[in-house]
Amino acid sequence: MNLNLISTEKAPAAIGPYSQGVKADNIIFTSGQLPINPTTGELITDITEATRQSLENVKAILAEAGATLEDVVKVTIFIANMNDFGKVNEVYAEYFSNHKPARSCVEVARLPKDGVIEIEAIAIK
Protein backbone atom coordinates (compact mmCIF):
# COMPACT_ATOMS: atom_id res chain seq x y z
CA MET A 1 0.00 0.00 0.00
CA ASN A 2 1.21 3.50 -0.84
CA LEU A 3 0.59 5.70 2.22
CA ASN A 4 1.13 9.48 2.32
CA LEU A 5 0.43 11.87 5.18
CA ILE A 6 -1.22 15.13 4.08
CA SER A 7 -0.19 18.45 5.58
CA THR A 8 -1.04 21.98 4.47
CA GLU A 9 -0.81 25.43 6.03
CA LYS A 10 -4.13 26.25 4.34
CA ALA A 11 -5.96 24.25 7.01
CA PRO A 12 -5.48 24.39 10.78
CA ALA A 13 -2.71 22.28 12.24
CA ALA A 14 -3.72 19.09 14.01
CA ILE A 15 -4.44 19.73 17.69
CA GLY A 16 -3.34 16.25 18.69
CA PRO A 17 -1.17 13.32 17.58
CA TYR A 18 -2.74 12.85 14.15
CA SER A 19 -2.43 14.05 10.55
CA GLN A 20 -4.68 16.51 8.76
CA GLY A 21 -5.27 13.75 6.27
CA VAL A 22 -3.95 10.50 4.88
CA LYS A 23 -3.87 9.24 1.31
CA ALA A 24 -3.81 5.45 1.07
CA ASP A 25 -3.34 4.49 -2.57
CA ASN A 26 -6.19 6.44 -4.21
CA ILE A 27 -8.34 6.96 -1.11
CA ILE A 28 -8.07 10.21 0.86
CA PHE A 29 -9.24 10.48 4.46
CA THR A 30 -9.41 13.92 6.07
CA SER A 31 -9.34 14.24 9.82
CA GLY A 32 -12.30 16.03 11.34
CA GLN A 33 -12.06 19.75 10.66
CA LEU A 34 -13.14 22.18 13.30
CA PRO A 35 -14.13 25.68 12.14
CA ILE A 36 -10.72 27.16 12.85
CA ASN A 37 -9.40 29.88 10.57
CA PRO A 38 -5.92 28.63 9.61
CA THR A 39 -4.56 32.16 9.27
CA THR A 40 -5.77 33.64 12.55
CA GLY A 41 -6.33 30.52 14.66
CA GLU A 42 -9.82 31.83 15.50
CA LEU A 43 -12.47 29.23 16.35
CA ILE A 44 -15.67 30.32 14.60
CA THR A 45 -18.85 29.81 16.65
CA ASP A 46 -21.62 31.10 14.36
CA ILE A 47 -22.96 27.84 12.87
CA THR A 48 -23.33 29.23 9.33
CA GLU A 49 -19.80 30.61 9.17
CA ALA A 50 -18.47 27.65 11.16
CA THR A 51 -19.87 25.20 8.60
CA ARG A 52 -18.31 27.22 5.80
CA GLN A 53 -14.90 27.30 7.52
CA SER A 54 -14.92 23.57 8.28
CA LEU A 55 -15.73 22.82 4.64
CA GLU A 56 -13.00 25.20 3.45
CA ASN A 57 -10.55 23.36 5.68
CA VAL A 58 -11.64 20.03 4.20
CA LYS A 59 -11.23 21.51 0.70
CA ALA A 60 -7.68 22.66 1.50
CA ILE A 61 -6.63 19.22 2.69
CA LEU A 62 -8.18 17.57 -0.36
CA ALA A 63 -6.40 20.08 -2.63
CA GLU A 64 -3.07 19.24 -1.01
CA ALA A 65 -3.74 15.61 -1.94
CA GLY A 66 -4.68 16.56 -5.52
CA ALA A 67 -8.43 16.16 -5.06
CA THR A 68 -11.55 18.34 -4.96
CA LEU A 69 -14.98 18.13 -3.37
CA GLU A 70 -16.12 16.40 -6.57
CA ASP A 71 -13.96 13.43 -5.53
CA VAL A 72 -15.66 13.07 -2.13
CA VAL A 73 -17.66 9.88 -1.63
CA LYS A 74 -18.57 10.20 2.08
CA VAL A 75 -18.91 13.07 4.54
CA THR A 76 -19.46 12.85 8.27
CA ILE A 77 -20.69 15.91 10.15
CA PHE A 78 -20.66 16.21 13.93
CA ILE A 79 -22.73 19.05 15.37
CA ALA A 80 -23.16 20.23 18.92
CA ASN A 81 -26.84 21.11 18.42
CA MET A 82 -29.20 19.26 16.08
CA ASN A 83 -31.33 22.42 15.93
CA ASP A 84 -28.58 23.76 13.63
CA PHE A 85 -29.20 20.98 11.07
CA GLY A 86 -31.10 23.25 8.65
CA LYS A 87 -28.44 25.98 8.70
CA VAL A 88 -25.70 23.40 8.19
CA ASN A 89 -27.59 21.97 5.20
CA GLU A 90 -27.94 25.41 3.60
CA VAL A 91 -24.18 25.97 3.61
CA TYR A 92 -23.43 22.33 2.76
CA ALA A 93 -25.63 22.63 -0.35
CA GLU A 94 -23.43 25.50 -1.58
CA TYR A 95 -20.45 23.12 -1.61
CA PHE A 96 -22.26 19.98 -2.76
CA SER A 97 -24.97 21.15 -5.14
CA ASN A 98 -24.84 18.67 -8.04
CA HIS A 99 -22.42 16.14 -6.54
CA LYS A 100 -24.04 14.62 -3.46
CA PRO A 101 -21.79 12.16 -1.60
CA ALA A 102 -23.10 9.81 1.07
CA ARG A 103 -23.36 11.61 4.40
CA SER A 104 -23.99 11.16 8.10
CA CYS A 105 -24.80 13.96 10.52
CA VAL A 106 -24.83 13.30 14.24
CA GLU A 107 -25.29 15.43 17.31
CA VAL A 108 -22.51 14.97 19.84
CA ALA A 109 -22.26 15.95 23.50
CA ARG A 110 -19.08 17.93 22.98
CA LEU A 111 -16.43 18.68 20.35
CA PRO A 112 -12.77 19.61 20.84
CA LYS A 113 -12.29 23.26 21.83
CA ASP A 114 -16.09 23.35 22.39
CA GLY A 115 -16.60 23.74 18.65
CA VAL A 116 -20.09 23.83 17.17
CA ILE A 117 -19.26 21.58 14.19
CA GLU A 118 -16.62 19.20 12.88
CA ILE A 119 -16.57 17.78 9.36
CA GLU A 120 -14.54 14.92 7.87
CA ALA A 121 -14.52 13.47 4.38
CA ILE A 122 -13.40 10.47 2.37
CA ALA A 123 -12.47 11.00 -1.28
CA ILE A 124 -11.21 8.81 -4.11
CA LYS A 125 -8.70 10.27 -6.55
Residue of 50, 52, 2, 54 whose CA lies nearest to 30: 54
Mapping DSSP to helix (H, G, I), strand (E, B) and coil, where does residue 21 land?
A: strand
Mapping DSSP to helix (H, G, I), strand (E, B) and coil, where does residue 15 land?
A: coil
**Close Cβ partners of 99 (under 8 Å, ≥ 6 residues apart):** 69, 70, 72
76 catalytically annotated: no
The residue annotated as part of the active site, out of 27, 43, 63, 105, is 105
Separation between Cα atoms, residue 19 and residue 22, nearest integer Å: 7
As annotated, the active-site residues are: 105
